[in-house]
């Protein structure tokens, strides 16, 4: 076996499981211990300061300087009691991961004297040296400065020895440079719009908050094997590797018993998550070998999203302790399932009602139907924006592949609700409705909770599915920041609800009764949004044809999906609601294209290096062995008989030459295309070039490398094989 592969294997075989000692306390006793939440603030703030911060959290009101000082001091004292020595503003630049810069609490005040200091100004605002974060041109034209500003709605937390304060990241001119800032605006917009619509049904509703419950899928790979695979290290996915003889066809991993080493890892990262108040409750094996999932209880979207980002970070840290590496990439291994991050989404009111949960009587069911139908209409009108929200170089490998949602956005609601909507579409009469009509409709609507109970026909192939009391956006990628999907979903929903309210109000003004006005408007929306509803198999080829007939978009790759951001309708929509300005949208479009380009550039380089420096030398080494063997046979048996005896070896020699030549030619072509693409100035054209001319060659290059893998002596193969990466426990 090649030295590096052998060494990696030795390490794996000698692993001792790193089992954490079970905590002596119950989860309820230590849950949230490392976050500075409202209950803790009540203990250490004055009545006044507590009220100010509570109102900031619940209603987004500002925190004045005096109270900020008091909160900062309390936060610092609490953090120091937890062992913290440093603090950081924790933010979400558009690179995709989170960023932090640690500063010490300690300040020298005179010779030989120091104090621990942390005041309101440091809590509320900071100016990180942020010149290398992506800004899409926003910071070039004005000043290079960027600010982080405290988001009190997400609790500060201590990790290791650092107090982390969730913040937004904005430019000197106030433009968003991060994911959180526009998300907060979108959440506010949809909350306000939903609250207005709720007034038709219940005047006690004064606050609506969108909720998010994510499900995080991931792969675990032993760190020694991982380190012996430059493609996993640099690109997060295996760019080469023949499919193992056994993949996921037996379905024996899904919900099977979790391997011991993986369990030990999960226990520890769940423990750390619970300390941070992340309500992780579920763990199980996923479909592919070495693939797992974890999911928390849902929370308000902003906090849920911070928790997901934090969890990804915690997972990676803890995994290293257990000699694992977590692969969050959407498609680390071709031929088996990729990883997603289902975003379960709904809207919750201050009165404790889930607006996407059918109620107990016709009135609350009409409210349910209102939000349900408006969601479908919002998706219908803005499917391309939703598609853009989940676009990334890594998710491109997954969408439309093995058991992953297609790139076509559609909505699944189940046969019972389909029938309900079809009935409504037919039975709401034009003109004034008779009392009998209304009674019948009320009866129909009253039946919803019953029908939902036996609504078991779940469809796992839909990118956007209704699952009884929430929608599940399944096309989101496992490595993504959910903020992008949530930004778009909540913005388009806000817009839709505002339109709905306007139209229904206008109907009422014209003399229609409230319920009738709502029903008639819902009927219009049901008709208009019909084509986005699809109940069939989203993985099938027929759906691609059917979707095309219906006029639905099928945007297969990121550069094309992102084009929607340059449309004036998109800019108007986000501008009108004050969520993103035209400039911010343009900057984001640019940044996403740049991210895409960089990712493909790295992949292209890794493919070239691995092919030339690892795979070809191994193939040629084996070919030399064969050549020696053929020469030996000829020298012993004579030319004719020797050749006859070496028939197989000679064919192998030829075959290896063929694949090596092809591999080298294709890699060189790809490198040429990469160079051409790199020289391009226009970012959009460049991204298209990387997609159409560079990435398009990856599969063919892989084909030849993978052929060589099954031909070359296993002992000589230089990198761990997929079988080893996936089935080593
Ligand atoms: P699945 O079968 O898809 O795993 P679950 O019922 O286990 O479905 O729920 C999956 C996720 O949905 C969980 O994270 C859960 O917290 C979340 N969820 C449940 N209700 C809501 C809601 N009202 N809003 C947002 N997410 C929710
Ligand atoms: Mg789910």
Q: What is the pLDDT of residues 62-73, one digit of tens each?
A: 888 889 999 999
* Lining residues, ligand 1, CB within 6 Å: 211-213, 215, 295-298, 344-346, 354, 469-470
Q: Is residue 19 a part of any domain in this protein?
A: no
State whether 575 and 714 are in the same domain: no
Distance 329 CA to ligand 2 centre (A): 19
Q: Using 50, 70 and 90 to split pLDDT, how confident is the model at 554?
A: very high
Last residue of a domain, one of 521, 545, 580: 580
Mean pLDDT for 298-311 is 97
Decide which of 701 and 414 is more confident.
701
Distances in whole angstroms, Cα of residue 412 to Cα of each of 329, 358, 379, 556:
26, 17, 11, 20
State whether 249 and 102 are in the same domain: no
Task: Give ∠ CA 127-129-132 in degrees, rounded to 5.
Answer: 130
Q: Using 50, 70 and 90 to split pLDDT, how confident is the model at 124?
A: confident
Q: What is the pLDDT of residue 492?
A: 98
Query: Which of 470, 474, 486 most suits a substitution to test ligand 1, by most atoms within 8 Å of the C-beta?
Result: 470
- On the question of pLDDT at 729 being above 70, the answer is no
Q: What is the pLDDT of residue 457?
A: 57
Q: What is the pLDDT of residue 638?
A: 96
Mean pLDDT for 163-182 is 91
Distance 670 CA to ligand 2 centre (A): 39
Look at ligand 1, atom 17, and give the residue with the nearest C-alpha: 213
DSSP-assigned states of every residue in 66-86: HHHHHHHHHHHHHHHHTT--E
Alpha helices (runs of H) in 399-434, residue ranges in sequence order: 415-427
Query: Which of 344, 412, 465 most suits a substitution to test ligand 1, by most atoms within 8 Å of the C-beta?
Result: 344
What percentage of the chain exceeds 70 in pLDDT? 95
Look at ligand 1, atom 26, and give the residue with the nearest C-alpha: 213
Q: The tokens 């309390």 sit on which residue?
A: 74
Of the candidates 301, 89, 341, 113, the one whose C-alpha atom is nearest the C-alpha of residue 212 is 301
Q: What is the pLDDT of residue 249?
A: 63
pLDDT digits (tens, 9 = 90+) for 238-291: 999 998 877 666 666 666 677 788 889 999 999 999 999 999 998 888 778 899
Q: Is residue 6 a part of any domain in this protein?
A: no
pLDDT digits (tens, 9 = 90+) for 350-375: 999 999 998 877 778 899 999 999 99
State whether 236 and 334 are in the same domain: yes
- On the question of pLDDT at 142 being above 60, the answer is no
Q: What is the pLDDT of residue 15?
A: 86
Q: Is residue 313 a part of any domain in this protein?
A: yes
Q: Which residues sit opposite 159 in a β-bridge?
A: 162
State whether 165 and 222 are in the same domain: no
Last residue of a domain, one of 545, 580, 615: 580
Distance 604 CA to ligand 2 centre (A): 34
Query: Which of 298, 302, 489 most suits a substitution to test ligand 1, by most atoms within 8 Å of the C-beta?
Result: 298
pLDDT digits (tens, 9 = 90+) for 420-472: 899 889 877 767 777 777 777 777 777 777 666 555 557 788 999 999 899 99
Alpha helices (runs of H) in 199-300, residue ranges in sequence order: 223-227, 230-235, 260-275
State whether 237 and 379 are in the same domain: yes
Residue 541: how many CB atoms within 10 A of its CB? 8
Q: What is the pLDDT of residue 548?
A: 94
User: Interhelix angle for 582-609 vs 698-711, to 10°?
Assistant: 30
Distance 460 CA to ligand 1 centre (A): 14
Mean pLDDT for 590-605 is 96
Alpha helices (runs of H) in 115-250, residue ranges in sequence order: 120-124, 138-141, 180-198, 223-227, 230-235
Strands 35-36 vs 156-159: parallel, antiparallel or unpaired: antiparallel
Q: What is the pLDDT of residue 133?
A: 75
List phi, psi (to 5°) of 148.
-110, 140
Last residue of a domain, one of 580, 603, 637: 580
Q: What is the pLDDT of residue 415?
A: 87
Nearest-ligand number for the alpha carbon of 470:
1
Distance 176 CA to ligand 1 centre (A): 30
Q: Using 50, 70 and 90 to split pLDDT, how confident is the model at 24?
A: confident
Look at ligand 1, atom 2, and give the residue with the nearest C-alpha: 467
Task: For the chain, report the end-to-end CA distance as a whole number of angstroms.
Answer: 20
Q: What is the pLDDT of residue 167?
A: 94
Q: What is the pLDDT of residue 450?
A: 67
Q: What is the pLDDT of residue 101?
A: 79
State whether 535 and 606 are in the same domain: no
Locate 173 and state its tokens. 């001119």
Task: Give ∠ CA 296-301-306 in degrees, rounded to 5.
Answer: 70
Among 27-36, 68-77, 111-120, 331-340, whose mean pLDDT is lowest? 111-120
Mean pLDDT of all residues belonging to the chain: 91
Q: The tokens 């109970």 sit on which residue?
A: 453
Q: What's the total number of domains in the chain?
A: 3
Domain containing 635 — which CATH number? 1.20.120.1560
What are the residues whose beta carbon lies below 5 Å from ligand 2 (ion)?
Answer: 342
Query: Which of 187, 194, 213, 297 most suits a substitution to test ligand 1, by most atoms within 8 Å of the C-beta?
Result: 213
Q: What is the pLDDT of residue 116?
A: 84
Q: What is the pLDDT of residue 129?
A: 65
Q: Is residue 10 a part of any domain in this protein?
A: no
Decide which of 492 and 145 is more confident.
492
Domain that holds residue 129: 31-173
Q: Is residue 7 a part of any domain in this protein?
A: no
Mean pLDDT for 637-643 is 96
Distance 283 CA to ligand 1 centre (A): 13
State whether 560 and 605 are in the same domain: no
DSSP-assigned states of every residue in 567-633: SHHHHHHHHHTTSS-HHHHHHHHHHHHHHHHHHHHHHHHHHHHIIIIIIHHHHHHHHHHHHHHHHHH
State whether 605 and 564 are in the same domain: no
The whole-model pTM stands at: 0.95
Distances in whole angstroms, Cα of residue 631 to Cα of each of 608, 650, 712:
33, 10, 19
Domain containing 466 — which CATH number? 3.30.590.10
Q: Is residue 49 a part of any domain in this protein?
A: yes
Q: What is the pLDDT of residue 356?
A: 95
State whether 604 and 572 are in the same domain: no
- DSSP helix/strand/coil, 647: helix
* Distance, C-alpha 502 to centroid of its chain: 34
Burial class of residue 297, CB neighbours in 10 A (0-12, 13-18, 19+): exposed
Q: Which residues sit opposite 294 in a β-bridge?
A: 216, 283
State whether 278 and 224 are in the same domain: yes
Among 19-23, 42-46, 166-170, 669-673, whose mean pLDDT is lowest? 19-23
Q: Is residue 182 a part of any domain in this protein?
A: no
Q: Is residue 178 a part of any domain in this protein?
A: no
Locate 483 and state its tokens. 């903020």
State whether 134 and 193 are in the same domain: no
pLDDT digits (tens, 9 = 90+) for 656-715: 999 999 999 999 999 999 999 999 999 999 999 999 999 999 999 999 999 999 999 999
- On the question of pLDDT at 35 being above 90, the answer is yes
State whether 161 and 283 are in the same domain: no
């Amino acid at each position: 076996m090649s030295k590096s592969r052998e060494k990696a294997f030795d390490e794996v075989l000698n692993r001792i499981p790193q089992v954490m000692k079970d905590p002596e306390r119950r989860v309820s006793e230590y849950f949230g211990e490392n976050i500075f939440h409202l209950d803790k603030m009540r203990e250490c703030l004055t009545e006044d300061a507590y009220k100010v911060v509570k109102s900031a959290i619940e209603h987004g009101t500002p925190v004045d300087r005096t109270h900020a000082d008091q909160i900062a001091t309390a936060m610092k004292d609490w953090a120091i009691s937890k062992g913290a020595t440093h603090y950081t503003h924790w933010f979400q630049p558009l690179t995709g991961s989170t960023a932090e810069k640690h500063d010490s609490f300690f300040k020298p005040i005179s010779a030989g004297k120091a104090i621990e200091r942390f005041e309101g100004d440091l809590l509320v605002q900071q100016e990180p040296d942020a010149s290398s974060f992506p800004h899409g041109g926003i910071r070039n034209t004005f000043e290079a400065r960027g600010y982080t500003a405290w988001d009190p709605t997400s609790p500060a937390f201590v990790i290791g020895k650092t107090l982390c304060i969730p913040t937004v990241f904005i430019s000197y001119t106030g433009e968003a440079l991060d994911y959180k800032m526009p998300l907060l605006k979108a959440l506010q917009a949809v909350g306000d719009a939903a609250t207005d619509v709720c007034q038709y049904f219940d005047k006690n509703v004064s606050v609506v908050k969108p909720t998010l419950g994510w499900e995080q899928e991931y792969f675990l790979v032993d760190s020694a094997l991982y380190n012996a695979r430059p493609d996993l290290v640099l690109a997060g996915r295996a760019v080469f590797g023949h499919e193992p003889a056994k993949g996921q066809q037996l379905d024996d991993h899904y919900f099977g018993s979790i391997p011991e080493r993986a369990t030990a890892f999960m226990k520890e990262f769940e423990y750390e998550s619970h300390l941070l108040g992340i309500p992780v409750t579920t763990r199980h094996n996923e479909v592919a070998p070495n693939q797992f999932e974890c999911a928390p209880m849902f929370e308000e979207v902003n906090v849920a999203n911070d928790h997901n980002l934090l969890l990804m970070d915690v997972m990676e840290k803890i995994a290293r302790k257990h000699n694992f590496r977590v692969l969050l990439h959407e498609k680390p291994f071709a031929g088996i399932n990729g990883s997603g991050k289902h975003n379960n989404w709904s809207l919750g009111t201050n009165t404790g009602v889930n607006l996407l949960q059918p109620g107990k009587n016709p009135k609350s069911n009409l409210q349910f139907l209102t939000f349900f139908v408006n969601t479908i209409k919002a998706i219908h009108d803005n499917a391309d924006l939703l598609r853009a929200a989940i676009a990334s170089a890594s998710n491109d490998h997954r969408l439309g592949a093995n058991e992953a949602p297609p790139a076509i956005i559609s909505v699944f609601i189940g046969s019972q609700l389909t029938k309900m909507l079809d009935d409504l579409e037919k039975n709401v009469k034009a003109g004034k409705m008779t009392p009998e009509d209304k009674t019948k409709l009320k009866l129909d609507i009253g039946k919803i909770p019953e029908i939902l109970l036996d609504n078991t026909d779940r469809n796992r192939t839909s990118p956007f599915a209704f699952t009884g009391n929430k929608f599940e956006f399944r096309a989101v990628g496992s490595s993504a920041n959910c903020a992008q999907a949530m930004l778009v979903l909540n913005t388009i929903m806000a817009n839709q609800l505002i339109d709905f309210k306007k139209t229904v109000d206008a109907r009422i003004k014209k003399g229609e009764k409230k319920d009738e006005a709502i029903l008639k408007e819902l009927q219009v929306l049901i008709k208009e949004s019909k084509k986005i509803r699809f109940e069939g198999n989203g993985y099938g080829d027929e759906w691609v044809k059917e979707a095309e007939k219906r006029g639905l978009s099928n945007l297969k790759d990121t550069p094309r999906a992102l084009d929607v951001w340059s449309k004036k309708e998109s800019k108007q929509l986000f501008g009108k609601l004050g969520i993103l300005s035209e400039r911010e949208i343009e900057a984001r479009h640019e940044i996403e294209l740049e991210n895409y380009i960089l990712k493909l550039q790295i992949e292209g380089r890794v493919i070239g290096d691995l092919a030339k420096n690892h795979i070809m030398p191994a193939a040629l080494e084996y070919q030399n062995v064969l050549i020696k063997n053929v020469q030996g046979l000829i020298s012993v048996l004579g030319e004719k008989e020797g050749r006859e005896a070496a028939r197989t070896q000679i064919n192998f020699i030829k075959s290896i030459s063929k694949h090596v030549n092809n591999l080298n030619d294709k890699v060189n072509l790809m490198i040429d295309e990469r160079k051409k693409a790199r020289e391009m100035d226009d970012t959009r054209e460049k991204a298209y070039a990387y997609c159409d001319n560079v990435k398009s060659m990856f599969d063919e290059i892989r084909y030849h490398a993978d052929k060589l893998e099954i031909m070359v002596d296993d002992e000589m193969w230089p990198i761990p094989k997929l079988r080893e990466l996936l089935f080593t426990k």
